[in-house]
Amino acid sequence: MPAVSDMKDAGTPAAAVAGVLDDFDSVADAWWPVIFRYALSSLRDPDAAATLAQDCLMRAWHNRHAFRGDASLRTWLMQIAVNLVRDYGRNRRLQFWRNLRSMPSSVEAAAESLAGRDLSPEARAAIQQQVEAVWAVTATLAERQRTVFLLRFVEEMDVAEIAAATGMAEGTVKVHLFRALRAVRGRMERRQ
């Protein structure tokens, strides 16, 4: 039986994937960080991201026997995560107080992790400002553009995987990715 790490690529036989899903602890250990990272990059709220990652794995556990193997395990889990992020966004829009919260400190943590220890404080501050600017621009994208952008550049999924995870056609994914990149580049150039 293939290891859980082997399930990251598309094209695994359904029987092999079903065998791995029987050992769901290893699936959860392998995929929780990936799901959490996507949720955190989408929501920028560590608590909500952790809850969403847990919900995603719970849904996958409850529906593991319905998994047909038409897509890779990664695509299947990310499709669940994308739907949960979308649902969370819809619910969040209904709650006014959540819209008033300030940007979480996770942006600073992300900027800090990108900055090398050998950089000067000025260089670190410049990198942090760039990361904050990209997050701010990403937050203004339309929902589909933001989802495609994050799946492509945070989760490094290819167009076919994104299409399968979001339920969009590959051409639609390419259009949303193109528009998101154009918007991010344009807004970043205006900020400079």
The pLDDT of residue 132:
82
- Distance, CA of 152 to CA of 187 (rounded, Å): 19
Q: What is the value of pTM for the model shown? A: 0.55
Calculate ∠ Cα 103-94-180, nearest 5°. 55
Contact call for residues 137 and 184 (beta carbons, < 8 A): yes
**Whether residue 104 has pLDDT greater than 70:** no
Q: Name the more confident of 128 and 80.
A: 80
User: What b/e sequence results for 32-58 when a residue is b if at least 16 CB atoms lie within 10 Å of its CB, and e otherwise?
Assistant: bebbbbbbbbbbbbeebbebbbebbbe
**Whether residue 192 has pLDDT greater than 70:** no
Taking only the tens place, the pLDDT of each residue in 82-100 is 999 988 877 655 453 333 3
Average pLDDT over residues 88-113: 51
**Whether residue 8 has pLDDT greater than 50:** no
Taking only the tens place, the pLDDT of each residue in 39-83 is 998 888 898 999 999 999 999 988 888 888 888 889 999 999 999
CATH topology of domain 1-101: Rna Polymerase Sigma Factor; Chain: A (1.10.1740)
Domain ranges across the chain: 1-101
